[in-house]
Chains A and B, each alone.
Chain A
């Protein structure tokens, strides 16, 4: 037995051995250090000290969102559906800023592949797909209030600049706004007169703007006149009954809001027309043909690109150079006789070269005898202030009339300002102008400007020359030292 082993065997089990003293001390100190550092790390990560260094502050939430979060006291969970390791870091970093801004926001990653049942409970229909990369925003106080934000809602692609922009904050903040709102503005879609239902795109957009929509029958359903509720009368083909007419008028006079779509080819409907007349409007028979080539879509003289008149609804469109496309328009005429408190403002107008074709079946687009020359209104906004003596309050009624129901067609909405026009209209009607609107951010930076000579010069210097100097110097040192 060697000496070393002897000492070892003597020391085995002894609490006085050198090994135990030094080794034990070293182990204890190591564990204490690790424990302290773990605690320090946990404390620091609670402080949430992060700084956004990106040029467009893409990970920082705007004041609009911060104000919304400050006023919220409902616990909200944002479930991020990503396969483990496949997170979209941009979105996750933005969500971190939400968590930082409010103690009531909690972000949780869920792997949809491992937890298929979790996703299942948030499907609203059997055909609905909730794809990986979506966020589910849930109000924990009322778990039935949730909103699924798809990845397509968070990234927008601008066809003109060919740039992808980040729209995540708009999507996430509206979703939060939706789940914490106790009552959403209602859109009552009137039915029972062969009206067409609202188009898919419009319905979806209303939903994402936090409107709840509901089909109503004026005879049987209660409709509540509140300043953020809107009734939609989408081009009825049968006239309203007198009772219905009274109900609509009463609704309007109680401070109601309405949007009415009319079409040029509908039969004469005295009751329906009386509602328009009540607000100083009439629809003339015939279809509008535009004579100014710069205000029609291609060669189609009956598809108008009307002028945007100045109004809260249209100003945003004009600022972004968006066109509203109006096919097959009827002409909306402002009557000379109307109540003094009724105020009619045109929103969309044709040029003076437009004319109203009295015979819609005419074979020519040229102006014929009997055609009425323009300009015409193709969309108008009406406000009326009714002073209530008893309650000493003023009730404001608001009405938008659009001269074609085709404005909301899915095929038109994709590439034009029509959807924005309708949503702006709904927001103006329901006094939601200050509703959430956050500009998308671009992740792209302005390109550098350099020519080929400069490029080659830099490449030569940085890829070849600089490393070469290091290598040559290294070899010279090595050669010199080899002979030492």
Chain B
């Protein structure tokens, strides 16, 4: 894992990507730092950290686009997959390299509040909490980008798909507002979800009987629930979307100055799932 991590981090700094990303990050934060903290003499640096969304949206697809897709295209992944290292070490090394590249400019921007502290009192606890949340949020975004990169062979496709998914993440709170809460829509939504799970199982096992059985069982249990107590389905779409509102958890928690342990666990879980799914995708190539 360490070897992969070192190799990957070095390759970042051999390409313009790392420098572009770091410079973009620093210019952006520097600009808001000037406009908010210097110009208006505002001691609360967390207002600057609110702009992390833009960095994540535009920068992370650049960081993750070539992580796994490039090696797949160059067929160098076959070398690594046949080498005596395990898949999880391979994926984790790549993930940590991207995360490190995200953390480097984050740490540099910490010079901003440090510089401010010579001119007055800063709300340190709030600022450090927001930084902590920002790194966790960055990790979740990188894990999504990593997963998408494992699915494709083309860097550009990977970057665009990642960007599209991030845009969805950004607007998920708006979807929540217009999401129907009635029972019928919820049941239809659940049915589609079950069929999607069935399709996923078929895709990974290519076994019609197992996939079909699970889908039918799932649909049957939805129907049973519907006849016993239809009200349990109320608002299920909103609740489902809630599980994916990554940014909202940051902006209403860490950003406001609240350290919520459940959000920390949520971000770590989210990252774990996507890193794990990536490992499964790469692993699949070993046996298929």
| Interface set of A (CB-CB < 8 Å, partner B) | 8, 11-15, 17-20, 22-24, 26-27, 29-30, 33-34, 37-38, 40-41, 44-45, 47-55, 58-59, 83-85, 87, 89-90, 92-93, 445-450, 454-455, 458-459, 462-463, 466-467, 470-471, 473-475, 477-478, 481
Q: Are A8 and B265 in contact (CB under 8 A)?
A: no
Query: What A residues does B15 contact at CB under 8 A?
Result: 478
Given A41-B266, A445-B43, A449-B120, is A470 in contact with B258 using a C-beta cutoff of 8 Å?
no
Residues in A with CB closer than 8 Å to B232 are none
Question: Of residues 244 to 288 in B, which have CB atoms within 8 Å of A's CB atoms?
Answer: 251-252, 256-262, 265-266, 269, 272-273, 276-277, 280, 283-284, 287-288
A-side contacts of B123, CB under 8 Å: 53-55, 445
A90 to B272, CA, bound (A): 30
Report whether B31 and A463 are in contact in the complex, using a CB–CB cutoff of 8 Å.
yes
B192 contacts across to A, CB distance below 8 A: none
Q: Are B259 and A53 in contact (CB under 8 A)?
A: yes
**6 A-B interface contacts by CB (under 8 A):** A17-B207, A55-B125, A449-B41, A470-B26, A474-B19, A481-B14
Q: Which residues of B contact A40 (CB under 8 A)?
A: 265, 269
Q: Which residue of B lies closest to A45 (CB)?
A: B262
Contact in complex: A47, B119 (CB < 8 Å): no
Assuming the A-B contacts A23-B205, A89-B256, A445-B123, are A462 and B34 also in contact, with contact meaning beta carbons closer than 8 angstroms in the complex?
A: yes
Of B50-58, B61-69, B107-115, B152-160, which binds chain A?
B107-115
User: Top 9 nearest A-B pairs by Cβ distance?
Assistant: A474-B19, A49-B261, A23-B204, A54-B257, A463-B30, A23-B205, A448-B120, A45-B262, A53-B125
B183 interface hit (Cβ, 8 Å): no
- Contact residue among A51, A90, A471 (Cβ-Cβ distance under 8 Å from B23): A471
| Residues 119-139 of B at the A interface (beta carbon under 8 Å) | 119-121, 123, 125-126, 128-129
| Contact A450 B30, CB 8 Å, known A24-B210, A59-B257 | no
Q: What is the CB-to-nearest-CB distance from A173 to chain B, in angstroms, rounded to a whole number? A: 20
Choose among B34, B201, B204, B260 the residue that contacts A49 (Cβ–Cβ < 8 A): B260
Given A445-B43, A445-B44, is A24 in contact with B204 using a C-beta cutoff of 8 Å?
Answer: yes
Nearest A residue to B201, CB-CB: A27
Query: Is residue B196 contacting chain A, with contact meaning CB distance below 8 A?
Result: no
Identify the interface centre among A44, A59, A463: most chain B CB within 10 Å of its CB: A463
- A-contacting 9-mer, from B71-79, B94-102, B161-169, B170-178: B170-178
Q: Is B228 an interface residue (CB 8 A)?
A: no
B19 touches A13 (CB 8 A): no
If A23-B206, A50-B260 touch, does A44 touch B265 (CB 8 Å cutoff)?
yes
Closest chain B residue to A90 by CB distance?
B256
Q: Cβ of A27 and Cβ of B204 under 8 Å apart?
A: yes
Q: How far is the CA of A24 from the CA of B202 in the complex (A)?
A: 9
Min CB gap A190→B, angstroms: 50
Closest residue on chain A to residue B32 by CB atoms: A463
Query: Counting CB contacts under 8 A, is B116 at the interface?
Result: yes
Say whether B217 faces chain A, with CB atoms less than 8 Å apart: no
What residues of chain A lie closer than 8 Å to B115, measured between beta carbons? 458, 462
- Interface of A, secondary structure class, is helix
Q: Which residues of A contact B273 (CB under 8 A)?
A: 33-34, 37
A54→B121 CA distance, assembly (Å):
13
Which residues on A sit within 8 Å (CB–CB) of B34?
Answer: 455, 458-459, 462-463
Chain B, interface size category, equals: 35 or more
Does B42 sit within 8 A of A, measured CB to CB?
Answer: yes
Known: A27-B204, A85-B176. A448 touches B119 (CB 8 A): yes
Q: Measured between alpha carbons, how far is A450 from B117 in the docked complex, in Å?
A: 11
Q: Cβ of A54 and Cβ of B126 under 8 Å apart?
A: yes
Complex Cα distance A437/B26, Å? 46
Contacts of B204 in A (CB 8 A): 19, 23-24, 26-27
Chain A residues lying within 8 Å of B238, measured Cβ to Cβ, are 84
Give the CA-CA distance A92 to B205 in the complex, in Å: 46
Cβ contacts under 8 Å, A49 to chain B: 260-262
The interface residues of chain B lying within 8 Å CB-to-CB of A8 are 206
- In whole angstroms, what is the CA distance A51 to B129 when docked? 10
Q: In the complex, are the beta carbons of A27 and B200 less than 8 A apart?
A: yes
Rounded to whole Å, the gap between the CB of B49 and the closest CB of chain A is 13
Q: Are B121 and A85 in contact (CB under 8 A)?
A: no
Asked whether B287 lies within 8 Å of A22 as measured between CB atoms, the reply is yes
A482 CB to nearest B CB, Å: 11
Q: Which residues of B contact A14 (CB under 8 A)?
A: 207
Whether B39 is near chain A, meaning CB under 8 Å from some CB there, is: yes
Query: Bound state CA distance, A476 and B33, in angstroms?
Result: 28
B225 in the interface (beta carbon within 8 A): no
Residues of A within 8 Å of B262, CB to CB, are 41, 44-45, 47-50
A27 to B31 Cα, complex, angstroms? 46
Contacts A20-B210, A30-B277: A446 and B177 contacting too (C-beta < 8 A)? Answer: no
Question: What's the minimum C-beta distance from B73 to chain A, rounded to whole angstroms?
Answer: 20
A474 touches B16 (CB 8 A): yes
Contacts A12-B208, A20-B206, A446-B43 given: A466-B257 contact, CB under 8 Å? no
| A475 to B26 CA separation, bound complex (whole angstroms) | 17
Asked whether, in the complex, the Cβ of B260 is within 8 Å of the Cβ of A13, the reply is: no
Complex contact B277–A93 (CB within 8 A): no
Q: Could you say which of A20, A50, A58 contacts B261, with CB atoms under 8 Å apart?
A: A50
**How far in angstroms is the closest Cβ of chain A from B85?**
19
Of the residues B116, B121, B257, contact of A446 by C-beta under 8 Å: B121
Interface centre among A17, A87, A455 (most CB of B within 10 A): A455
- Is B103 at the interface (CB under 8 A from chain A)? no
Q: Would you call B27 an interface residue if the criterion is a C-beta within 8 Å of the partner chain's C-beta atoms?
A: yes
Question: Whose C-beta in chain A lies nearest to the C-beta of B44?
Answer: A445
Contact B37 A448 (CB under 8 A): yes
